[in-house]
Amino acid sequence: MNKISFNKKKFNHKIFQSVESVLRSGWLTHGGYTSLFEKEFSKYVKSKYAVTVSSCTAALHLSCLACGFKKGDEVIVPSMTHVATAHAVEYTGAKPVFADINLYDGNINFNEIEKKVTNKTKGIIVVHMAGSICDMKKIQNFCKKKKIKIIEDCAHALGTKSDNTFTGNFGMSGCFSFYPTKQITTGEGGMLTTNNYSFYKKIKKLKAFGIDKDIDKRKKQGTYNVQLLGYNYRMTDFQAAMGYNQILNYKKNLQLRKKLAFLYFKILSNNSNIKLPKFDKESSYFIFQIFIKKNIRDKILKFFQNNGIGVSIHYAKPIPDMIYYKKKYKLNLNNFNNSKIYADTNISLPISEYMSREQVQFICKKLLLAIKIYDK
């Protein structure tokens, strides 16, 4: 069988045509595709507002700023996530406080949230790991009582929902990623969703230098005022053209991913050497994660590589084990046991709407063979 990439992407002719039309127009930013993408994305996730940004990190940073997090505040984040989640808090001067995760779904553990709350706690960033949603009902009720603001890191979770509500609608904002490995990609890029009008208006200003009016709302071109200290976190229009054409087909593509995820479960669920999270029909399955014994994990990764199968790890280290955070906050990794086990045992298998059932079966066959070879 030919090589299987970790996250295969295909771009149809409509995407090429749209990008070419932007390049030919000369209107490379602030253009029509930006607003089209925002409207279609908002329609899909059923949020009132959506704002294109330059990355999910930018969306997280803007959300923290719009929530008013500052020096002296504390914001709870999961100990196992991409470092951008913690960085966004750190940028504001607030302190990220790390809470351990559930072992096999990777989501923040609710009991750990309760332990970490102090009178300085102003917010929490939940991460829907691998596309599986956190226990949002319990988290929402708790945060409402404590007057804690919720930000959702939805980098993995486009299309994930619970009780018929999509991720990105449970807190002040949802932050989505369009990095090349994600379900939709614009190269780099992101989207911020919210249902709060004043929050939306503040985000619009913050992402574009603090300027008071969008370019199409100015009575006289080149004239504007600056109301606050903002950033250049804008998405280009050719990126928006890519995203717009992909979101139109995403509902169908997500169903294809779910079918492949179910096939993985069907083949692997009865093997005692492999730990799997529960199958979740509402997950977006950004990745399909399995958990293998620590002493053979790296051997199996090498085996996949030698057999032309692209795999990855999400993630190799808990944030409290990274030098910057470990030194600054004097963190003890023994307080994050689940995160450490998760980091040492997880493997992300390929999953994409462009893969076939035969490829999934081939990957599973090779995985089971590798376990038989190395687990002695």
Domains annotated on the chain, with CATH? 13-247 (3.40.640.10), 250-374 (3.90.1150.10)
In the chain, the largest separation of any two C-alpha atoms, in whole Å, equals 74
Taking the C-alpha atoms of residue 213 and residue 219, their distance in angstroms, rounded to an integer, is 10
The per-residue pLDDT for range 207-266, each reduced to its tens digit, is: 999 887 666 665 556 667 898 999 999 999 999 999 999 999 999 999 999 999 999 999
Q: Kind of pairing, strands 190-194 and 49-53?
A: antiparallel
pLDDT at 8: 85
How distant is the alpha carbon of residue 225 from its chain centre?
A: 34
Residue 145 scores a pLDDT above 60: yes
Taking the C-alpha atoms of residue 178 and residue 158, their distance in angstroms, rounded to an integer, is 10
The per-residue pLDDT for range 294-343, each reduced to its tens digit, is: 999 999 999 999 999 999 999 999 999 999 999 999 999 999 999 999 99
H/E element, 56: helix 56-66
The per-residue pLDDT for range 95-142, each reduced to its tens digit, is: 999 999 999 999 999 999 999 999 999 999 999 999 999 999 999 999
Q: Name, in order, each residue with C-beta under 8 angstroms of 365's C-beta and a sequence gap of 6 or more.
A: none
Q: What angle do CA 42, 45, 48 make, to 5 degrees?
A: 45
Assessment of whether the complete model's pTM goes beyond 0.85: yes
Write the DSSP string, 289-313: EEE--HHHHHHHHHHHHHTTB--B-
Write the DSSP string, 206-222: HTBTTBSS-GGG-SSTT
At 41, phi and psi to the nearest 5?
A: -65, -45
pLDDT at 376: 77
Q: How far is the CA of 45 from the CAs of 40, 48, 110, 157, in angstroms?
A: 9, 9, 25, 11
Q: Which of 347, 351, 336 is nearest to 291 (CA)?
A: 347
Question: Both tokens of residue 108?
Answer: 């923040």
Cis, bond preceding 342 (omega within 30 deg of 0) = no
Taking the C-alpha atoms of residue 107 and residue 35, their distance in angstroms, rounded to an integer, is 33
How distant is the alpha carbon of residue 297 from its chain centre?
A: 24
pLDDT at 262: 96
Torsion of CA 276, 277, 282, 286, to 10 degrees: -70
Question: Both tokens of residue 266?
Answer: 């069907």
Q: Which of 22, 129, 139 is nearest to 81 (CA)?
A: 129
Q: Which of 268, 303, 291 is nearest to 345 (CA)?
A: 291
Taking the C-alpha atoms of residue 1 and residue 350, their distance in angstroms, rounded to an integer, is 15
In eight-state DSSP terms, residue 340 is H
Mean of pLDDT values over 6-21: 93
Per the CB < 8 A criterion, the answer to whether 14 and 248 are in contact is: no
Query: In DSSP terms, which residues pair with 275 in a beta bridge?
Result: 291
Q: Which of 204, 173, 183 is nearest to 53 (CA)?
A: 204
pLDDT at 112: 98
Q: Name, in order, each residue with C-beta under 8 angstroms of 58's C-beta and a sequence gap of 6 or more.
A: 190, 207, 231, 233
Taking the C-alpha atoms of residue 262 and residue 264, their distance in angstroms, rounded to an integer, is 5
HSE of 324 in the Cβ direction (CA atoms, 13 Å)?
Answer: 8
Per the CB < 8 A criterion, the answer to whether 74 and 97 are in contact is: yes
